[in-house]
Amino acid sequence: MFDGLRDHAGWRRLYERVRADKDRFMGSLSRRLMSGEKLTRDLEDEILFHRAFYYGAEWILGHPEEAAKSLEEAARRAWRDSALEEMTTQEESPYA
């Protein structure tokens, strides 16, 4: 199902949208700094947040096969957790 994801028009559009959003943020940041805004701790945190967000978003969109693997692992964990929870709620407690 994920084999052709990288070539899918929607996936490419999402990648382009992330890149455009990153470019807008970079332009906004440049304008703020060039207008004299001081580099405060809050601004540093904002920059670090956006750097990590865009790095992660671009990496995921550039590696759809890893997204598929990650989704599969999450689904298996969720199934295991729900099965385990079901088993524990069905057992009667000697303390009840």
Q: Is-contact 58 19, C-beta < 8 A?
A: yes
pLDDT class for 94, splitting at 50, 70, 90?
Answer: low
The domain total for the chain is: 1
Cα gap 60→2, rounded to integer Å: 13
7-21, 22-36, 73-87: least confidently modelled range? 73-87
Alpha carbon 18 to chain centroid, angstroms: 12
Q: Is 82 a domain residue?
A: yes
Q: Is 43 a domain residue?
A: yes
Q: Is 95 a domain residue?
A: no
Domain that holds residue 85: 5-90
pLDDT class for 78, splitting at 50, 70, 90?
Answer: confident
Q: Is 69 a domain residue?
A: yes
Cα gap 48→44, rounded to integer Å: 6
Alpha carbon 96 to chain centroid, angstroms: 43
Q: Is 50 a domain residue?
A: yes
pLDDT class for 70, splitting at 50, 70, 90?
Answer: confident
